[in-house]
Amino acid sequence: MAGRRSRRPRGAPAAGLLLLLLLLLPPPAAPAQPPAAAGRAAGLRMDQAWLQVRREVPPGEGVAVSWLSDACHKCLFQVLGSVPFEEPGVAVDSQHPMILVVNSTVKGKEPCSIHYHFGEFGNYSLTVRSDHGSKKILCNIVINQKPVNSYLPIFFAFFISMGILITLALGKFCINIEPIRNWLYKKMNPRETDRLINSELGSPRRTDSTSSDLPAGVWSTGSAMPRLRSLDTFRGLALAIMVFVNYGGGKYWFFKHQSWNGLTIADLVFPWFVFIMGTSTVLSLSSVLRRGCSKGRLLLKILWRSFLLFLIGVVVVNPNYCLGPLSWENLRIPGVLQRLGCTYLVVAGLELLFAKPVPDSSSVEALSSVFQDLLPFWPQWLFMTLLEAVWLCLTFLLDVPGCPTGYLGPGGIGDSGEYPNCTGGAAGYIDRWLLGEKHIYQHPSSNVLYMTTVPFDPEGILGTINSVILAFLGLQAGKILLFYKDQHQQIMLRFCVWTAILGVPSLVLTKCSTEEGLIPVNKNLWSISYVTTLSSFAFTLLLLIYYLVDVKRVWSGVPFFFLGMNSILVYVGHEIFENYFPFKWKMRDTQSHSEHLAQALIGTSLWIIISYVLYRKRIFWKI
């Protein structure tokens, strides 16, 4: 690991450490309730309920129950069981609403259909009876024992966090009141008081162009432009959510990746990380070129960094270790760091080809100066357009054996079970053909809900093309910051314009729906609508953070700023030490959202503290 040390900063954010330490406290657990105890006694797991079927039909008449989750698009109904069940009841899913259909073995009887959302650890009865006045089956749901409120731990954690933030905000407000400040000057060392007021949790003085506690050599990216805290804050925020999600996110469904089409919180963070990598790339290359570094030397650095990212992803952070010791038979070739490495290689190499040491605004005509961050780089846009054309042609024109051309579905029981082995269409076929089934991800998010049986890699070859497109859009955000340096209104206006420009194709391609669009938003495929949607979100979020952190300076980016300064170290470290104490421990109740949520919060908070300590020690891992 390459580290760099320099003098210690003048102060520590005491209030920030208090916030992080308080986050270590597990959220209060929901009171013990009989339904939960009864559910666990029945062998239920989280996100399950217990269903009994009471049959009130004539003797000799058989009844079969089928179910279909609302989250499973165009799926086949699955048999829940025939009455009487072999067991006194059956476990059913409580994450999403479902449709229950009751069919009679007697011909001519209309089935009964009921739409219901079961609660976690609830105990229910499905009463089935015949309507003697008609040829119908009547059914209804009866609650025997109420379910638990599985969202209470999140509510508690949210309110505790809001309470801490409000307390810190009030403390900061009080410190800025002159009588209180004068009293502090009398009671404390004036130099220490000044440090407290201007610490990371306070507002940097408006006359300062850099952070009050950072040496110029660390904070400055070059004489022309100070380092933007908003970029590291954005990166750190995405990384914090990524760590929290990877540590389980309390085992809530919205902290897991979407089964196929659509978005959850977990689907936001990786593309944001790719986006901000593109933003940082253009600023970094411009800074290094201003210092006189040759393009040949920079190209070698780009190649080396891309190779290291790919190597670390293959050898160190590889989920196929669970299939056995490291060997070529089990080695997963694609992955998060591998995609970052390939994306960085293309985007940084292309930018280096056209980069100039200093933006030459004088060469742009005054009439078109509003496009000075676009017009000189038309070859790059042409290359990206051709690259996207390649993705579209391969996705919609490639002949995949046994699958319809242009198929974008999950396979399995989706699409009425017509294409069970076509998961991902052309994207899945290319990976299985070029890499082999054993060298890609073995447990995609689609295999639980859609019951897919073929491996599929969400970081596969075809999706990397759109990852490059997304990073290039992040590169555009960096050019806006570079060309309109210190022109805050111009920068924010352009961020708003790009938010709209990218939002329009998202609306057109998706038809404002999850499943019915021309190209749905899909993280597994990294569809073009996914790229435009997440890029639009990224411009909006970067605009907000830039306004708060670098323009108004009402927030210094703490605690996410520390994570952003050591992002690769934190990502690799949290993957390596995920199953070790204190990041994980043997739980007293593995079916409790409370304990899983506490574990995820503690693990994430520990990495925030680690990144803060490394920041204080001036240790940064650079690849």
Beta carbons of 141 and 124 less than 8 angstroms apart: yes
Q: Report cis status (omega within 30 of 0) of the bond before 84.
A: yes
Cβ contacts of 87 within 8 Å, gap of 6 or more = none
Percentages helix, strand, coil for the chain, rounded to the nearest 5?
A: 50, 10, 40
Kindly report whether the peptide bond that precedes residue 559 is cis, defined as omega within 30 degrees of 0. Answer: yes
Residue 151: phi and psi, rounded to 5, are -95, 0
β-pairing verdict for 123-131 and 48-56: parallel
Q: 233: part of which helix (H) or strand (E)?
A: helix 229-246
Estimate to the nearest angstrom the gap between the alpha carbon of 88 and the chain centroid.
40
For residue 123, what are the β-bridge partners?
A: 50, 145
3-state secondary structure of 36: helix
Chain CA centroid to CA 280, Å? 19
Q: Is 596 marked active-site?
A: no
How far is CA 559 from its chain centroid?
18
Positive or negative, the CA dihedral 549, 553, 558, 562 is positive
Longest dimension (CA), the chain: 91
CA 246 to CA 485: how far, in whole Å?
A: 36
User: Is-contact 568 621, C-beta < 8 A?
Assistant: yes
Q: Tokens at residue 402, please?
A: 């046994």
3-class SS at 140? strand
d(CA 329, CA 314): 13
- What 8-state DSSP symbol labels residue 261? B
What is the spatial order of strands in the sheet that 112-116 belongs to?
78-83, 63-69, 98-104, 112-116
CA 473 to chain centre: 18
Whether 67 and 77 have beta carbons less than 8 Å apart is answered as yes
- Report the distance separating Cα 505 and Cα 386, nearest Å: 18
Strand-pairing partners, residue 125, are: 52, 142
Q: Is 454 left (phi over 0), alpha (psi -120 to 50) or beta?
A: beta
Fill in the amino acid letter for 437: E
Q: Which of 377, 350, 360 is nearest to 290 (CA)?
A: 360
Distance separating alpha carbons of residues 8 and 22, to the nearest angstrom: 25
Of the residues 73, 257, 439, 574, which is catalytic?
257
Q: Tokens for 314, please give them.
A: 């293959």
Q: Note whether 153 and 594 are within 8 A (CB).
A: yes
Q: Which residues are catalytic?
A: 257
